[in-house]
Amino acid sequence: MKLATLADGSRDGTLLVVSADGRRQSRAGAIAPTLQAAVDDWATVAPSLRALAARLDAGGGDPLDPASLLAPLPRAWQWLDGSAFTTHGTLMQQAFGHDPIATDRPLMYQGLSHRFLAAQQDVPFPSEADGIDFEGEFGIITDDVPMGCSAADALAHVVLIVLINDWSLRAIAPIEMKTGFGWVQAKPACSMAPFAVTPDGLGDAWRHGRVCLPLRVEVNGSWFGDPDGGAMAVGFHDLIAHAARTRDLPAGTIIGSGTVSNPDYDRVGSTCLSERRVIEMLARGHAQTPFLSFGDRVAMMAGGAATFGRLDQRVVQAAMPGTAAV
C-alpha cells in the first residue's frame, strides 16, 4: 500500500491512498484526515486504508498529479538520522581527518523535523559558499514504540518506508562538529519522495530490516550513482531499539538509514557529493566534483518511479530578510 499527502493549503495536507502503479489516488479523509492521524491510530485505520487501496488497484480513483503533493509526512514529531553504511562512515572520517569512532552503538543524531520538503519543491539555501550537498537515504516511519523496545520486536513498529534526500551544508558541518554539540546550521530541512510505502508493499525488497533496492541519483540529468540499500551494517530494527533505549518514540517518528553507500563505489557510484569528493581525493590527491550551485537539479528514486515516486528538485537562493530571491 502507498500513501501520499495532497497539498490543500494546510500545514499537514490531506491523506491520499495511491494505486500500486502510482497513477491514481483516492482521498482518505473519511478514514484519517492526515498521515499523522493515520499512524497515531494505525492498527484501527490500516484495514480501511488497505480496502481503499484494493479498490484503487481494481481501477477506481482519480488521476494523480505528483506536483499536487506535499511530502508524505510534511512535519513530524521526531527525525532521527542514523549512519548505518560502513563505507560512507569510513570515507567521511578520512574526509574530516577523524579517527574511527570507537563504539559498538549505532550512530544517530536528532535533526530538524518540523518541515519536510515536497518532492518537486525548489530547495532554498542562503549561500553557495556553504557547500550545498545532497544525501540519498531510506527512512522508516513508526507507530508508537515503547521505551526499551528490543531489536527483535522493533520491526513490528515499522508502518511505512520512505525515500529521503538529507540536504547538508558541508562547509558548516566541520565547524559545528568541533563544538561537540552536534549539527544545527549544517542540516537544513530534508526532502521526501512523494509516496510512503508499507513494508509488504516492497515485497522481497524489504529484508532483515533493510530496503534492498538500488537508490538512483541523477545530477542535472546525468547518472551519479545507484548503490544498494541492503548494505546497511545494522538494520532499521537496530536503529529503532537504539533510539528507544531510554525513551518511547511517538507515532510518526522518522528514522533514517544515513547515506546509502557500497564498498564497490567505483562501479555503483555514490549518493552524495562529499563521498565522491573523498574518493577523488584518495585516488588523485584532490577533489574534482564541485558542490551544488543555484540552478542545479538533483533527482532520486528507488525501485522504479512507481515505488516511492521521484524526487526532482532545483537548488535556489533563499530569499533572506531584506533581500529578494534570485
Q: Domain residue spans in the chain? A: 1-70, 73-317
Provide the pLDDT for residue 234: 96
- Max Cα separation, the chain? 59
* Tens-place pLDDT, residues 165-195: 999 999 888 887 778 788 888 899 999 999 9
- Whether residue 137 is predicted with pLDDT greater than 50 in this model: the reply is yes
* Tens-place pLDDT, residues 250-266: 999 999 999 999 999 99
- Whether residue 326 is predicted with pLDDT greater than 50 in this model: the reply is no
Listing DSSP states for 213-249 in one string gives SBEEEEETTEEEE--BGGG-SS-HHHHHHHHTSSS-B
Provide the pLDDT for residue 322: 67
From first CA to last CA, the distance across the chain in angstroms is 40
CA dist 234 and 84 (Å) reads 6
Class of domain 73-317: alpha beta
More confident residue, 83 or 312: 312
Least confident of 62-76, 78-92, 253-267: 78-92
User: Could you give the count of Cα atoms lying within 13 Å of 74 in the half-sphere of its Cβ?
Assistant: 18
CA dist 85 and 261 (Å) reads 6
- Whether residue 17 is predicted with pLDDT greater than 90 in this model: the reply is yes
> In the chain, what percentage of residues exceed pLDDT 90?
83
Q: Are 236 and 81 in contact (CB under 8 A)?
A: no
Least confident of 67-76, 178-187, 215-224: 178-187
Give the number of other CB atoms < 10 A from CB of residue 202: 18
pLDDT, average across residues 214-231: 98
CA dist 151 and 258 (Å) reads 18
Q: Are 309 and 194 in contact (CB under 8 A)?
A: yes
pLDDT, average across residues 67-87: 95
pLDDT, average across residues 190-203: 98
- Whether residue 83 is predicted with pLDDT greater than 60 in this model: the reply is yes
Cell of 207: 529484508
* Tens-place pLDDT, residues 96-110: 666 666 667 888 999
Provide the pLDDT for residue 207: 97
Provide the pLDDT for residue 178: 76
